[in-house]
Amino acid sequence: MTLPRIAVDAMGGDEGVRVMVEGAALARREYDDFKFLLVGDQQRIERALDTHPGMAGASEILHCDDVISGDELPSRAIRRAKTTSMGLAVNAVKDGRAGAAVSAGNTGALMAMSKIALRTLPGIDRPALAALLPTLEPHDVVMLDLGANTEADARNLVQFAVMGAAYSRIVNGFESPSVRLLNIGTEEIKGTEALRDAAAQLTAATANGNSSLALQFDGFVESDKINRGETHVVVTDGFSGNIALKAIEGSARFVTDLLRQAFTSSLRSKIGFLVSRPATELLRHHLDPNNHNGAVFLGLNGVVVKSHGSANAKGVANAVTVAARLLENKLTQRIAHDLAELGEDALRKGGNGASTGPSEESGAAA
């Protein structure tokens, strides 16, 4: 299959052009049919391409030397959408010059620009930011929302569940992914009114083995079970999701730093490290965020992937590959189909939560 080219915001991220171009080149080594629209300073991009000869023939450069800073407010950034590398990459998807956009820049700005340029799919009130997190099982878990919406009502949560399940079917290959709502307990009486209402709607929509909606709703899940691998999709609002994500990332860094200290504390510990090195290398690989890089804005009329700002070339390559897989497997069409199967009558407003857009300080997966 010939994929549409992928627009890469070459100026985004902590290291900018060098890492973004190297990551795209790394992805193309594995998938030599990838084509790119590299958006950014032409001279810097050309210098980066000199070290990756195979990329030149597969890439077009769209010159732009204006960049959205990491601390720029989304409300200010969207006014510069037509002059910045991030805005031009997203607009390339809108105009049909690219099939997907990848950026490692400011998350809140990217969400705001993407929503304005691409709009949401019919039946979606608000897009959500979804990412893959490692588990004890061979598969990753899809988690959303991770910061696009600080609050979510029952209707939003049901839509998130449908979108997350469609994403899981593509990236993990599950025909009917297990979906759970993040809550403070697994009992039906626990949680906010919005959570309980969303659970009731999802239960009704999937009752009696309903095969028209390709997901299995399994109730609530607590945060300590997110990485167990017992569920395929975890759904929550962006405020709770971002806190949970940062707590998981912090715990992973804590464990690796603690092991590093323990293994260097004495000569005996250093010898122990040499003996256990295969196991610790496996742990390091499993917890490396670059192996799970590439958060996705679900619910838009187009594919936009957010790479972590500190991602290395391998991480950027992973984000590019995620974008390509979503294009190849027609993510937006799958979501639209599933929402049609669910039906508008199944989506009640419910709950007291009012869905809001990305906060000015939004930084999920940044």
Here the CATH number for the domain that contains residue 11 is 3.40.718.10
Enumerate residues 6+ apart whose C-beta is below 8 A from 240: 182
The reply to whether 103 and 138 lie within a common domain is: no
The reply to whether 37 and 91 lie within a common domain is: yes
Q: Are 177 and 232 in contact (CB under 8 A)?
A: yes
Band of the pLDDT at 188, cuts 50, 70, 90?
confident
**How many domains does the chain fold into?**
2
d(CA 268, CA 271): 5
231: pLDDT strictly greater than 60: yes
Indicate whether 356 belongs to any domain.
no
Please say which residue of 118, 148, 181 terminates a domain. 118
What is the domain extent for residue 79? 6-118
d(CA 103, CA 11): 8
Per-residue pLDDT tens for 45-95?
999 998 888 888 889 999 998 898 888 888 888 899 899 999 999 999 999
The reply to whether 93 and 132 lie within a common domain is: no
Indicate whether 327 belongs to any domain.
no
Which conformational region is residue 111 in: left (phi greater than 0), alpha (psi within -120 to 50 degrees), or beta?
alpha
Q: Are 153 and 349 in contact (CB under 8 A)?
A: yes
Band of the pLDDT at 364, cuts 50, 70, 90?
very low
The reply to whether 137 and 92 lie within a common domain is: no
End-to-end C-alpha distance for the chain, whole angstroms: 32
The reply to whether 221 and 150 lie within a common domain is: yes
Cis preceding-peptide flag for 197 (omega within 30 of 0): no
The reply to whether 103 and 142 lie within a common domain is: no
Per-residue pLDDT tens for 110-140?
999 999 999 999 888 889 999 888 888 888 8
Calculate Rg over the CA atoms of the chain: 21
The reply to whether 113 and 136 lie within a common domain is: no
The reply to whether 267 and 161 lie within a common domain is: yes
195: pLDDT strictly greater than 50: yes
Strand partners, 295: 306
Q: Are 46 and 342 in contact (CB under 8 A)?
A: no
> Residue 354: how many CB atoms within 10 A of its CB?
13
Please say which residue of 118, 137, 157 terminates a domain. 118
